[in-house]
Structure 1
Amino acid sequence: MTDDYVLFQMWGSRRQSLIDGHQFYVEQARNRLLNQFGNMEADADQASKDWLKKASRDFDPDRHDEGVIYDAAEQAGVDFYQLLSDMRDQTYLSVVAGMYHGWDKQLRSWLAGEVHHWYSGSAASQKIWSINAEKIEDLLQSQGWGFSSKPYHRLLDACRLIVNVYKHGEGGSFEDLKMRYPEYLPGTNHGVTSNSPAASYLDHTDMKVSDAQLQSLSDAIVAFWRDVPENTRIKDIQKFPGWFATAVAQDQAKVPGAKCFP
């Protein structure tokens, strides 16, 4: 292979297809799911009225206190609003999770497919599908286009942590999120910093993604796909990460002379 040999290629049609598919997902998620929470106050008021209507059927002025009934109806509306608010927050997180997992799988599929064009072993592509996101970042960074220094990198990293916390709750990802991206913990907007004693009372249930934040995370994925170079040549590669080189060595031990990168 010469220094000009293309190792990773992003065709314009594939790039646009990836972007279009992602934007379709976000648009439909808004229209079919998230927009359903646009009138929560009215929905809560209706829930209060429905409760009062149901209770009035058995109302006996000789035995029941009218004020207590109205207070209970109001509380029913408050409870309904809180439950609906919790459902909205969970729906936003599920949309973010679907968005991130879709991007992650498409990225791994593209990387593995490109590797198959110039490398005949199987261990490297299997590793691409099994390693964690940080090691995938190492492979992207090795391609020489400065992935980790891009503005969208921070948002993609935050998205990864959000999804991990959404799936697993407490743990290392939550602590990382609290320290590095406290904007997804609304409590930090009220004088609670990641280093303050009050931060110890925050847990995974405090994590939320606003509509504006969802859009920012979505825009980061679009920006990523737009930024992937059309051609990454051998001369662009700085140094493949160790896990990739190890996988290649494993294949070469099994099949001496197997085609691979220089």
Structure 2
Amino acid sequence: MKQLVNVLTLVGRYILLVKSAFGRPENFKLYWQAFIQQCEEIGLRTFWIVIGISAFLGMVTVVQTAYMITIPVIPKFVIGMVARDSVILELAPTGIACVLSAIVGFRIASEIGYMRLSEQIDAQEIMGINTKAFIILPRILAGMYMIPLLMVVAVVVSLIAGGIAGVSKGILTANEYHFGLLNDFKPFGVTMAFVKIVVFSFLIPSISGFMGYYAKGDELAVTKAATQAVTINCILILIADFIITSIMLNM
């Protein structure tokens, strides 16, 4: 019972923090500068990591799909179809989101946590600044802007790398893979992937900002809060993934 109360208390504090974070900015110029800085931190500094992971996800997907399809009568272009749907519906949105929750989420939580530890947040509050908005809002908006772009890049890179791996290993021809990517394509899959991406890109910076903002204690406590942010993000991403998939596939 006590654990349930603690969870509900955290949820309530999170909702109130997010509500306060979307308050009216005191200085749009400063908020814009913070937004641009966070776009660089979230997008540019994780770009090559996303590229590398996406490439290997695509290659492994094609190779494993070819390994599982052992019936000779099944045409080779089916490998392209399976790879396309796997990457768009699950691997790119959920897989890359979990990776970004570890990289971006840990950085945001630890960064804000150290601001709390060094009393920077307290000093800003004394100056009358809405710290929830000034510190967390630019990170949320930057996450919701950059993470979907990274997901699009992840999908494209995964499919290209998968095709290169399939062709180079002699699994299928380039024409067969290309035909499989286009055959029976359903735009609804892209819509569902986009909904997932938007939800994930909101959860990662907001949860991480929440954990860092209320971190208390010494440097070890800040590191612990950042680690908890990564764990909570991954759990909520998987839960949200299941809920969104269940709802949208039954519409």
Return the TM-score normalized by structure 2.
0.31
Structure that is richer in helix per residue: 2
Return the TM-score normalized by structure 1.
0.30
Structure number with larger C-alpha Rg:
1
